[in-house]
Amino acid sequence: MVLPLLLAATTLQPLLTLERTLRRLPRTGDPIWDLRLDIPGEPERHFEAVSGRADRQLANRDQMGSEAPLPVGRYRLGAIERLGLGDPRELGPIWIGIEPQFPTGRRVLGIHLDPSAGLNWNSGTAGCIGLIRTRDMQTLAELLRRSGTTTLVVAQ
């Protein structure tokens, strides 16, 4: 009877984690963030991303409209949605909503492609997670769908 309880306590759920790295995009100076997906029994997967604007990294991360990176904390992943021609080009082809599980002034947050990453003045996000590569966005969406990942943790 003890063995099933121990197994239940040690069963790991898939987890998505966002951490800032020391690297920057060369042309625009945006910090590169590491979006890591841990699926039990599989190798870690890493995706390069941006969060916030390069010059807003130290702004209030809980203030709506600050264009700062996501606040530190735990988020619930929402639906994976395909975007169409009527949606903003800066959001890329896929949107994954994220909902903070803590009090914050931030709203309408998600994971999406940043097609301007490292290219021009529009590089970075208004506060979401913007993946740098289109292929990574498609791969991440498929892995999240397949694994049933429901949690994102923003570490710093």
Using CA atoms, how far residue 101 sits from 77, 98, 150, in Å, is 10, 9, 12
User: What number is the average pLDDT over the span 37-54?
Assistant: 97
How buried is residue 44: exposed, middle or buried, by Cβ count under 10 Å (0-12/13-18/19+)?
exposed
How buried is residue 75: exposed, middle or buried, by Cβ count under 10 Å (0-12/13-18/19+)?
buried
What pLDDT is stored for residue 71 in this prediction? 97
What pLDDT is stored for residue 156 in this prediction? 77
What pLDDT is stored for residue 62 in this prediction? 94
pLDDT band for position 11 (cuts 50, 70, 90) = low
pLDDT in tens, 66-86: 999 999 999 999 999 999 888
pLDDT in tens, 97-126: 999 999 999 999 999 999 999 999 999 999
